[in-house]
Amino acid sequence: MIRLSGLHKSFGPLQVLKGVDVTLEEGKVLVIIGPSGSGKTTLLRCFNLLEVPDKGDISLGGISLSFDGKKLPKKDVLALRQKTGMVFQSYNLFPHMTALGNVMEGQVTVQKLSKEEARKRALELLVKVGLADKADSYPHQLSGGQQQRVAIARAMATEPELLLFDEPTSALDPELVGEVLKVIRELASEGMTMVIVTHEMKFAADVADTLIMMDGGVITEQGTPDQVLNHSSNPRTLQFLNRFVDDERSTV
């Protein structure tokens, strides 16, 4: 069970999170939606302390941390981060390493595995994301979708208890989105615990166990995808979702 309780986060005078509570069961997928500036990415980054809350509590994988504005011990931050893997919008691959090298790196430097063990695990993961034939390719030789699939394999390589995705398809050309979403769907079907920030509503409906809508630093609605996307009576949720309906109509 993963719990975030009473999280507050400000950047200077701007209060971005205003007492957010989240509970996620092992093997489930939580999807976060909301307009730009709603706090959804900041919330996601709190799960692995890329953003450290000003106030609140986090419990993940047997680790419980409380925040009161004081700096956390480095060992506590590292202990929590080692239980998570993160996939960013912009891939963040090491350009001087092959796909195989990128997936191996965390296993060797963080987990201290031998290169032989790391290579075996990395090759298995590249097969899993459909890139066995790209093991020796460098990032500049890969499409955006292929780079993002390498990034997913890299995030999985350290066997995290929680995978985090920050709008994993937002930097991709439309024709490449499907190959990345397919990999994430497969992970969900295998019981990987995940938190995903996305603007892909159809994907959110398909993959989420729980969907939360954020606006103004708070969770304005929470439920199953069907409840939130199809049966909401919340005016702010409806206004947000209508934007996607209008966008779809404009492309017809």
In a domain? residue 147: yes
Predicted pLDDT at 245: 57
pLDDT in tens, 55-104: 999 999 889 999 988 888 889 988 899 899 999 988 889 999 999 999 99
Q: Which two tokens stand for residue 41?
A: 């990415």
Q: How many CB atoms neighbour CB 93 within 10 A?
A: 23
Q: What's the pLDDT tens digit per position in 96-127?
A: 999 999 999 988 988 888 999 999 999 999 99
Residue 129 falls inside a structural domain: yes
Comparing CA positions, the residue from 210, 213, 236 lying closest to residue 225 is: 210
Tally the C-alpha atoms within 13 A of residue 210's C-alpha that lie toward its C-beta. 16
Number of structural domains the chain divides into: 1
What is the residue range of 145's domain? Answer: 92-159
* 167 domain residue, yes or no: no
Whole-angstrom Cα distance, residue 62 to residue 60? 6
Q: Is residue 124 part of a domain?
A: yes
Q: Which residue has the tokens 């991709």?
A: 172
Q: What is the pTM of this model?
A: 0.92
Q: Tell me whether residue 238 is in a domain.
A: no
Evaluate whether residue 28 is within a structural domain.
Answer: no
**pLDDT (tens digit per residue) in 136-157:** 999 999 999 999 999 999 999 9
| Residue 111 counted as domain residue | yes
Residue 114 lies in a domain: yes
When pLDDT is cut at 50, 70 and 90, the band that residue 229 belongs to is very high
